[in-house]
């Protein structure tokens, strides 16, 4: 079978590395950032805009698409790539996280999870097997298994139980997929909260099953930065070097840079796109809240160093006007900028690792960006 | 002074003609359709998308921009072209129509109109002179004078009075502009409702004052199609051939084609953009309401004859999904299509007039499009 991941450079000073994930719809240079397109569209952009930003893939949510328009519709349309007309790689999240965070009356049973649809209350029963079937019907390039998510804080006992069920489901997912002879990738999701012994065991059990990639789940949900970084660092020490590692849902630039340093290859987060719609813009010198009165007559672009369409053409004053008028073009232009900002930093990260200057880049970015500070 | 309008072809079978309106920011081929960008942005599109659609100009609303962000801000930013970063021609509507339709407590006095802001109730007093000053500060290429709008139906007496005041204000607008030695264009707005004698007098009085173009106001607001067409046809018989004629706010394709035939050169309407956001799409064979269940698995583009980005890339099924999910990209893709549809028909109209086949085009379009009918 074709190799799905290769490492192209390693940072001599840290665990940072660059690599290539190969998929049937193209390759993904890592470290990579996946723009979130839960419903099959990056919010507030057309695909052509996402392509112009040189996004390498999009991330969809299997749970949302399963509910609407439904798997049958997407199959009838020739699969998800064809239905949404996205030619590049697509990763589908299983929706495990959404089940636990969006839906009422969740009951985890041995063979799966039962819950009420967040839309109309219909009882739904998802199993490791049917979550694989759903993603196979979507035909996405990278599938995520159904995990049992544990909120923060959770007791050791609950965390252990969640990790145990996740392992059990992981085994069933893998064996179900093997029966189907489907060649797309399946990545595992490790649980364990902030309890290293539990997370360690979760990782080891998943490694024993053998997945194409390993995701760290259940982080960035309320634990301290120290706890978070400790988990990432310890995971790095036991995860197989030759497989891609995915830190789910983490989007603050500081966390991303530190995680790359600890060997993480893959990220996704709604932060750049959601914040854009709310008028919070990322710049090389911190955040800018476009509705602020002080930008009313500000002729400068959002970020003077930025080369995106928005920054090359429009002033803060105009963008503030569009935001205040609740114009849709405000969401478009702001999202273009924020996503460009993220993807551009990832390009710089990859370039820096390949030229042995990652730590230098990291400090130069972090010295200027202080999360929460305003321009 | 440079000629602001030239006729390039006339239809031997009707009053239809092609021409060029020259402005300081480029020329406009007529018959032309102006996409509405009241707040300085075409709703749901970026300027680059509007430019890719080859829109020749945008139409802004002086009243809205006067309220927010305010003229001082726009002047400080170097005028409207610079503030909104639109390099081509801009026409500013005076906002007369919005004053009468949006604002409470309108009092028309001899020297102007007093009303409450539709935003916060502040009393505002606009005069023919300050409406010119506002538009001069915006620096738009084509300014519209402040008219006195008369709703439908209105008595002859009220209509006559409105037309009389409009003429009075038109004189003052022109003389105010002349004092300023400002070289941009000022177009007059004729009133008179459906009373030909009154409208005729209004046109003649405005012609005596001499404007760069003549708009027919107060139509398309409830009168019958026969009354509407009668007014356009009779106006054609007395309006000067050498000046552009603008039929304000008319957007149904059937009305447009009939008006072009009666010598109208210029149109604007929110119909393509507003309908797009509401999921009503225009096609060569009628209207399509994208939310309809029957499109759930429809692999065809909106319009199989259409060459727009949306039709070249996306199925009705996907567009229905985006609409149902209330994704912003639904508004983007639908607006791209509807606006392309309009601008494309205007290109065909100009081409047909120049090749002596306008009537043929008109019938071929009308035979297929039956307003209100679904695909």
Q: How many Cβ atoms are within 10 Å of A196's Cβ, its own excluded?
A: 14
- Segments of chain B with pLDDT less than 70: 1, 370-375
- The answer to whether the CB of A39 falls within 8 A of the CB of A74 is no
Q: Is A110 a catalytic residue?
A: no
- Segments of chain A with pLDDT less than 50: none
Burial class (CB in 10 A: 0-12, 13-18, 19+), B17: buried
Nearest to B321 among A47, A69, A318 (CB): A69
Nearest to A110, CA basis, from A64, A171, A156: A171
Query: Are B309 and A48 inside 8 Å of each other by CB?
Result: yes
Query: Are A68 and B321 inside 8 Å of each other by CB?
Result: yes
Nearest to A59, CA basis, from A45, A39, A29: A39
Q: Is A268 a catalytic residue?
A: yes
A87 touches chain B (CB under 8 A): no
pTM tops 0.95? yes
Chain A residues in contact with B73 (beta carbon < 8 A): 296-297, 317, 321
Nearest to B256, CA basis, from B285, B288, B220, B286: B220
Q: How many Cβ atoms are within 10 Å of A187's Cβ, its own excluded?
A: 24
Strand order in the sheet with A5-10: A5-10, A17-23, A26-30
Residue A333 contacts by C-beta under 8 Å, 6 or more apart in sequence?
A: A309, A310, A314, A319, A322, B46
Nearest to B17, CA basis, from B365, B356, B363, B362: B356
- The answer to whether the CB of B193 falls within 8 A of the CB of B218 is yes
CA distance A127 to A137: 15
pLDDT of residue A370: 67
* Count of residues making up chain B: 375
Residue A44 region by backbone torsions, left for phi larger than 0, else alpha for psi between -120 and 50, else beta: left
- The answer to whether the CB of A16 falls within 8 A of the CB of A241 is no
Distance in Å, alpha carbon of B332 to nearest chain A alpha carbon: 7
The 3 state secondary structure assigned to chain B is CCCCEEEEEECCCCCCEEEEEEECCEEEEECEEECECCCCCCCCCCHHHHHHCCCCCEEEEHHHHHHCCCHHHHHHCCCHHHHHCCCCCEEEECCHHHHHHHCCCCEEECCEEEEECCCCCCEEEECHHHHHHHHHHHCCCEEECCCCCCCCCCCHHHHHHHHHHHHHHHHHHHHHHHHHCCCCEEEEEECCCCCHHHHHHHHHHHHHHCCCEEEECCCCCCCCHHHHHHHHHHHHHHCCCCCCEEECCCCCHHHHHHHHHCCCCEEECCHHHHHHHCCEEEECCEEEECCCHHHCCCCCCCCCCCCCHHHHHCCHHHHHHHHHCCCHHHHHHHHHHHHHHHHHHHHHHHHHHHCCCHHHHHHHHHHHCCCCCEC
CA distances from A337 to A279, A309, A314, B351 (A): 11, 7, 11, 39
Given CA atoms A368, A369, A372, A374 in this order, what sign does their dihedral have?
Answer: positive
Encoded tokens for A169: 């489901």
CA distance A12 to A159: 35
CA distance A142 to A189: 13
Which A positions 260-289 lie with beta carbon below 8 A of chain B? none
Half-sphere exposure of A217 (CA within 13 A, CB side): 31
Query: Are B329 and A84 inside 8 Å of each other by CB?
Result: no
Residue A305 contacts by C-beta under 8 Å, 6 or more apart in sequence?
A: A283, A284
Residue B41 contacts by C-beta under 8 Å, 6 or more apart in sequence?
A: A322, A327, A329, B47, B84
Nearest to B69, CA basis, from A42, A111, A127, A291: A291
Residue B318 contacts by C-beta under 8 Å, 6 or more apart in sequence?
A: A40, A77, A83, A84, A85
Report the C-alpha dihedral over residues B76, B80, B86, B87, rounded to 10 degrees: -90
Catalytic residue among A11, A147, A268, A303: A268
Residue A100 contacts by C-beta under 8 Å, 6 or more apart in sequence?
A: A106, A149, A151
CA distance A90 to B167: 63
Chain A residues in contact with B75 (beta carbon < 8 A): none
pLDDT of residue A372: 54
Nearest to A253, CA basis, from A224, A283, A230: A283
Buried b (16+ CB within 10 A) or exposed e, A108-130: beeebbbbebbeeeeebebbbbb
Mutate: best of B273, B332, B337, partner A, most A CBs <10 A: B332
Nearest to B54, CA basis, from B29, B17, B84: B29
Distance in Å, alpha carbon of A39 to nearest chain B alpha carbon: 8
Nearest to B332 among A46, A69, A325 (CB): A46
B315 touches chain A (CB under 8 A): yes
Encoded tokens for A294: 């002080």
Catalytic residue among B11, B265, B268, B298: B268
Query: Are A73 and B297 inside 8 Å of each other by CB?
Result: yes
Catalytic residue among B93, B141, B147, B236: B93
């Amino acid at each position: 079978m074709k190799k799905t991941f290769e490492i192209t450079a390693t940072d001599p000073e840290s665990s940072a590395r660059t690599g290539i994930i190969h998929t049937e719809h193209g390759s993904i240079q890592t470290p990579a950032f996946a723009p979130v397109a839960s419903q099959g569209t990056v919010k507030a952009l057309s695909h052509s805009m996402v392509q112009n930003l040189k996004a390498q893939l999009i991330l969809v949510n299997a749970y949302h698409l399963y509910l609407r328009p439904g798997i049958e519709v997407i199959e009838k349309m020739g699969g998800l790539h064809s239905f949404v007309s996205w030619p590049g790689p697509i990763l589908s999240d299983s929706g495990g996280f959404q089940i636990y965070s969006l839906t009422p009356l969740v009951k985890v049973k041995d063979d799966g999870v039962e819950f009420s649809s967040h839309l109309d209350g219909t009882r739904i029963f998802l199993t490791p097997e049917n979550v694989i079937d759903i993603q196979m019907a979507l035909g996405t390039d990278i599938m995520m298994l159904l995990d049992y998510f544990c909120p923060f804080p959770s007791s050791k006992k609950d965390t252990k139980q969640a990790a145990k069920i996740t392992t059990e489901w992981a085994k069933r997912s893998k064996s179900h997929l093997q029966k189907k002879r489907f060649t797309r990738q399946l990545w595992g999701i490790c649980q364990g909260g902030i309890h290293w012994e539990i997370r360690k065991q979760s990782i080891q059990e998943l490694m024993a099953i053998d997945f194409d990639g390993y995701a760290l789940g259940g982080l960035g949900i309320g634990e301290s930065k120290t706890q978070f970084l400790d988990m990432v660092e310890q995971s790095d020490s036991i995860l197989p070097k030759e497989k891609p590692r995915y830190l789910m849902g983490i989007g603050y630039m500081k966390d991303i840079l530190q995680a790359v340093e600890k060997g993480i290859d893959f990220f996704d987060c709604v932060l750049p796109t959601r914040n854009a719609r709310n008028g919070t813009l990322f710049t090389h010198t911190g955040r800018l809240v476009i509705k602020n009165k002080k930008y009313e007559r500000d002729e400068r672009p959002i970020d003077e160093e930025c080369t995106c369409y928005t920054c090359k053409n429009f002033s803060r004053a105009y963008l503030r006007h569009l935001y205040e008028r609740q114009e849709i073009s405000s969401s478009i232009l702001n999202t273009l900028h924020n996503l460009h900002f993220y993807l551009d930093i990832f390009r710089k990260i990859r370039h820096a690792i390949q030229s042995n200057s990652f730590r230098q880049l990291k400090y130069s970015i972090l010295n200027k960006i202080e999360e929460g500070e305003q321009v």
